[in-house]
Amino acid sequence: MFDASAQRRKPGDMRPVVIVKLGSTMPHLQASRGDYEDWIAAGLDGLRDVRVCRVVEGDALPSPEAQRAVVVTGSSALVTDRAAWSERTGAWLKELVAHDRPLLGICYGHQLLADVLGGEVGMNPDGREIGMIDVQLNERAKSDPLFGVLPSTIRVSSSHRQSVLGLPRGARRLASNAATLNQAYALGERTWAMQFHPEWDHEVIGAYLEDRFDTLLGEGLDPSALLAGAQASPHGLRILQRFAEIVS
């Protein structure tokens, strides 16, 4: 039967979803499990035409208006080092926000976005935060399109030394914990950023803890206890799935 309503439907947005890759995981983990972009793309399952822009390797950043949505990865670099590739990406992110494209900043991406928009980024006052952590969502998060599908406390993977010490003007804090005040924030209606890694599962964070075992001991942390706490949680994956639903 002819469906007249089908003739009235607008075609889907065919622009690509771009993962802006600002860093890589450890080589041995990459060989066995893939890298940041692979884990993010898996979480965005259902979105067509997901592309990767490897900025650190010299890829040119695409025009903001040509993107359906953007996810910015983490990195082992420090925002305050002001690397050329980082400054270039920061300027592009500022333009992207002005074009109102759906945006998800993860870890380094979360910090870089805050920095370029006038927030403050620096060494976390409480030192390194690593492992599976509990993050508390606030009242604003309950009505947020992305975080509103989650419980009031989420368990996610994290590894960072720097953090967002001051939010940019207009940003809305959505999540915190005792170690990091600004665990997640939103800007406008379609920009979100989070200090933790929603794309890392318990096996990935376990690999990081094992790799940095001696370093963590030297910093006064208990890597054995952190490893014991690396248990599966659905919350990180749900964030990526929800972002994909919003983009769709």
**4 inside domain:** no
User: Mean of the per-residue pLDDT values for the chain?
Assistant: 94
**231 inside domain:** yes
**8 inside domain:** no
- Cα 247 from Cα 38, distance rounded (Å): 18
**118 inside domain:** yes
Asked whether the whole model's pTM tops 0.85, one would answer yes
**56 inside domain:** yes
Of the listed 37, 53, 110, 197, which one is catalytic?
197
Give me the helix-helix angle, 84-98 and 108-116, nearest 10°: 70
- Cα 243 from Cα 248, distance rounded (Å): 9
Are 40 and 34 in contact by the 8 Å Cβ rule? The answer is no
Of the listed 53, 110, 199, 202, which one is catalytic?
199
Count CB-CB contacts under 10 A for residue 97: 20
**182 inside domain:** yes
Q: How far is CA 74 from the centre of its chain?
A: 7
Catalytic residue check, 199: yes
Instruction: Give the three-class secondary structure for 222.
Output: coil
State the pLDDT at residue 46.
79
**5 inside domain:** no
Residue spans of the chain under pLDDT 50: 1-10
Of the listed 37, 53, 107, 160, which one is catalytic?
107
**1 inside domain:** no
Give whole-number Cα distances, 137 to 151, 152, 170, 248, in Å.
Answer: 8, 5, 18, 24
State the pLDDT at residue 173.
98
For 6-15, write each residue's pLDDT tens digit: 222 235 678 9
State the pLDDT at residue 12.
64
Domain range for 104 is 13-247
Provide the domain count of the chain.
1
Are 118 and 112 in contact by the 8 Å Cβ rule? The answer is no
Catalytic residue check, 139: no
For residue 84, the domain's CATH number is 3.40.50.880
Please report, as a single letter, which amino acid is at residue 186. Answer: A
For 162-212, write each residue's pLDDT tens digit: 999 999 999 999 999 999 999 999 999 999 999 999 999 999 999 999 999
Which residues, including other chains, have CB under 8 Å from residue 169's CB and lie 6 or more apart? 117, 118
The percentage of the chain sitting over the pLDDT mark of 90, rounded to a whole number, equals: 90
